[in-house]
Amino acid sequence: MTNRLVEAKSLYLRKHAENPIDWWPWSEEALATAREKNLPIFLSIGYSSCHWCTVMEGEAFSDLTIAEYMNANFLPIKVDREERPDIDSIYMQALQMMSGQGGWPLNVFLSPDDLVPFYAGTYFPLEPRYGRPGFLQVLQAIRRYYDTEKADLQQRKAVMVEALLTSAVLQDGKADDVAENELLRQGWETCTAILTPNQTGNSFPMIPYGELVLRLNRLNFSSRYDGAQVVTQRGLDLALGGIYDCVGGGFHRYTVDPTWTVPHFEKMLYDNGQIVEYLANLWSAGVEEPAFERAIAKTVQWLKREMTAPEGYFYAAQDADSFINSTAAEPEEGAFYVWSYRELEQLLTPEELTELQQQFTVSPEGNFEGQNVLQRRHPGQLSDKLEIALEKLFIARYGVNAESLDTFPPARNNQEAKTTNWPGRIPSVTDTKMIVAWNSLMISGLARAAGVFQQPSYLEIAAKAANFILVHQFVDGRFHRLNYDKQPHVLAQSEDYAFFIKALLDLHQASLGMGNVSSPAFWLEKAIALQDEFNEYLWSVELGGYCNAASDASQDLIVRERSYADNATPSANGVAIANLVRLTLLTDNLHYLDLAEQGLKAFKSIMGRAPQACPSLFTALDWYRNSTLIRSNTEQIHALIPKYLPTVVFSTVSNLPENSIGLVCQGLKCLAPAESVEHLWQQVQQSQSRG
């Protein structure tokens, strides 16, 4: 017996299609039914590769007693946060206000008449354990409260609405009198402190923080922190740590320890795009660590092999869990990636195993449930012998060598994973939906790596993905966020616009220095057109900045939020404001600069009050204060593109002043024409450190 979710396009929703709970997708019909029957809404939000979402699906959501009570007393709605980040953001904010923490699965109880949350939590076990009540107890208590405590319910809802509206408006006057340079210093110092290694907790990539510290190191702020050391160490932790799959390429989500050893094994497209861009920027800034170049190259190979659709776009994610064999009842975390010591003894020569143990954290007892996650002990170039050993492990995992494996088809669900005759191990399930925002982060990473390492093939992959989006994601003149099997779905949100405009501008810049791989003018033209649509439907005229959802797609939201906080991905407004500055330089249209100024003003209070929340807004402020346009010929741009110039955009011109090789413009003023390479470089460096 299946429920309504069997018709859903989302892999996450379909995973719940056989639950006895009578799930609804988020829709006007569901909301109207809840209002008509006066049923409190149980809203459950998650995503396909979320471990505890999967656990709860198999426990509480599959229990007949819970389903019977739920169906009689609530209107249960399932939402994929990757489809509707606007809904997720509002109710995650509510959970954090109620409990001081967040996470997924996000389970929220809403009043049906106004969709205001009055109770929320994350994982609820089937029976009481881990210091948490059993889920049936929770449901019974919530329903009893809803029926008998009407006055308290109304008061609780009023407090929540006021808190959400106050949070959405943001403006409290703080930091308005702080000088912009001092604000930049505060942002840099705060983010440097956050990235400084500690000895407790999980280890996340946190790329927006690393990018901000890297770019602002050039301003030489006085501090007790060593910014250069911090960003280099973050790169080493990523490229050497267990978070990186040194056999197959690609980065896992995070590690569950402070030593970057044991990852949570899911691979998310958005992490990989950001990390590729960060490592390329580190290299271009002078940290030419061979492990960075290897990690980028192997990650691009993984992307092409496992995460690229025949049409050219990129898949969303790969699960952490996979089956040991086709008869296993449940998948196991990390099974596709880890190695027993006995396996290593069987696959490698004694000499190879000895060197592997010298260079990686390999031991008979292992470092993860008796298995070994491969974490490098030292930076530098791997020896030929080690590369051969890692290739043997690749063959053991995939069944063939890397050179012969152009495409490794995805397992789209557990049934497909278990029934396909794989030549090696059974892979994790891949979520094959196309998300514009995440594709855009990968396109940007590829474009930057193409320019830094002069790899036209990287740019070709990026351009193909971008072209798919341009051809397939517009319906009746409106941009759409998702694509399922060539079918666009859900109107685009602020992160889709912001990240894709950035990707188009990054393609424009990389193309200027890469010859005839693609037309720079084409990418700029598309960026301008999409920015117009972004401004029309998502710009907040009253408050400044961009709302999360379009003005004509927000009727079912209790507030219209404007994303300013960086999480696993950058904030939409931070990226969008930086885009506006870049567009100003490339088009001479000062309306973009006016919008950038209004956006920064709108968020200045939060930048002063909570700099730890919004590194991307500080990146935007750096662009606003220190933007530099270099007009030159293709030869000079080709030479400058690989360098780390974080607030520079390039433009090719054919009519330079006589005896000059380039023009450097700082914001709205231009310097004297540069008459030599040395003079041009001197002007560029001076422009980057204005502060």
Phi and psi, residue 352, nearest 5°: -65, -45
687 neighbors 219 (Cβ within 8 angstroms): no
Phi and psi, residue 110, nearest 5°: -120, 145
Residue with tokens 């995440």: 438
| Strands, E assignment, 292-444 | 317-318, 321-322, 332-333, 430-431, 434-435
Q: Which residues of the chain have pLDDT under 50?
A: none
Which of 591, 597, 592, 656 lies closest to 630 in space, CA to CA?
656
Bridge-partner residues for 569, per DSSP?
Answer: none
292 neighbors 279 (Cβ within 8 angstroms): yes
With H, G, I as helix, E, B as strand and everything else as coil, classify residue 179.
coil
Q: How crowded is residue 618: how many other Cβ atoms within 10 Å of its Cβ?
A: 28
Burial of 131 (0-12, 13-18, 19+ CB in 10 A): exposed
DSSP state of 550: -
Roughly what angle, to the nearest 10 degrees, separates helices 180-195 and 207-216?
130
613 neighbors 181 (Cβ within 8 angstroms): no
DSSP state of 120: E
Residue with tokens 């340079």: 181
Task: Please provide the distance, in angstroms rounded to a whole number, between the alpha carbons at the two ends of the chain.
Answer: 64
Q: How crowded is residue 56: how many other Cβ atoms within 10 Å of its Cβ?
A: 24
pLDDT of the residue at 174:
54
DSSP string covering 237-258: HHHHSTTB-TTT--B-SEESST
With H, G, I as helix, E, B as strand and everything else as coil, classify residue 671.
coil
| Strands, E assignment, 388-473 | 430-431, 434-435
- Dist CA 498 CA 577 (whole Å): 9
Q: How crowded is residue 526: how many other Cβ atoms within 10 Å of its Cβ?
A: 20
Q: How crowded is residue 119: how many other Cβ atoms within 10 Å of its Cβ?
A: 21
Phi and psi, residue 264, nearest 5°: -85, 120
- Dist CA 105 CA 79 (whole Å): 10
Give residue 455's identity as a one-letter amino acid code: Q
Full-model pTM: 0.95
Q: What sign does the dihedral 257-258-263-267 (CA atoms) show?
A: positive
pLDDT of the residue at 587:
96
Helix (H) or strand (E) holding 109: strand 106-110
- Dist CA 157 CA 116 (whole Å): 6
With H, G, I as helix, E, B as strand and everything else as coil, classify residue 573.
helix
Joined tokens for residue 180: 């912009």
30 neighbors 510 (Cβ within 8 angstroms): no
pLDDT of the residue at 173:
53
The HSE-up count of residue 321 (CA atoms within 13 Å, CB side) is: 17
Question: Number of helices and strands (H, E) in the chain?
Answer: 25, 20
